[in-house]
Structure 1
């Protein structure tokens, strides 16, 4: 049974597309952050290992929230690696960078997501989906806080 929640079919499809892109970006960022958690070395190993642990766990929790938002709109969630790879705008990191480069890469990815979220919030507002707009607004705050924490390593 299709959801009958006051959003027309074309707007709902656009919102699900937005959420699917956000899910893919979040999943890629989760994997990258977890990779860096496992592979960080150097003088600041312990602090970065803990920081990345906190960040990848928060990202992991967000994946379920994003997927559940898609399901609440009555659609199935893209959940295969090939689907997520097609949907993400983030780049894979194939090598293990040095610790400062890890921080820079994660910061750039969070900032990319923040910029996308700003645009997506406008689109969900135009579609009349206050629920998704509020959800994305809460998520942007989390990414901004994480970006600030990462950026602070360069001051």
Structure 2
């Protein structure tokens, strides 16, 4: 196999890849949670939440691909099994079907968790002069913070 020479040494690529693996696991877990809530939401806000959750899980589905491809561009394997995601994710799965307002609260928590995970990685990527990862993380932070705000607004 040809050696990777993109201006980021192997040690930093490993550190960044590990951080991106955690972002990927959190994002995928949040995707699954959001899709589950889309299928199972009920109550007076059904139509609004059903459509909103669909938009959100579609965005997350695209995001996992971007994160995984960045890991691959760094020359590392991307985690891609439930077992790996459970081990890497800080977002826990839900048992049962929560009420609609609890779904909203749990998705706010999930988006804020992904934001914190991404924010932890940013200085690592920045110190390694890894602008593409910094750009990806910045974009993800914007999406997760905005989505958390929009969901939180439904609870007021």
TM over 0.5: yes
In 1, the alpha carbon distance for the partners of 2:23 and 2:87 equals 12
Aligned equivalent of 1:22:
23
Shift of 1:116: 2.0
In 2, the alpha carbon distance for the partners of 1:142 and 1:148 equals 10
Greater CA deviation, 43-52 or 123-132? Answer: 123-132
Could you state the TM-score of these two structures normalised by the residue count of structure 1?
0.97
In 2, the alpha carbon distance for the partners of 1:52 and 1:61 equals 14
Residues 85-130 of structure 1: CA distance to partner in whole angstroms, max 9, x if unpaired?
A: 1111111101100000000000011111112222211121112211
Whether contact under 8 Å (1:2, 1:74) holds in the other structure is no
- The ranges of structure 1 where at least 4 consecutive aligned residues each deviate by more than 2 angstroms after the TM superposition are none
Which ranges in structure 2 are unaligned for 5 or more consecutive residues?
none
Aligned equivalent of 2:119:
118
Task: Count the aligned residue pairs.
Answer: 155
Could you state the TM-score of these two structures normalised by the residue count of structure 2?
0.96
Shift of 1:17: 0.1
Whether contact under 8 Å (2:17, 2:74) holds in the other structure is yes
Q: CA RMSD in A?
A: 0.9
Whether contact under 8 Å (2:22, 2:117) holds in the other structure is no
Which ranges in structure 1 are unaligned for 5 or more consecutive residues?
none
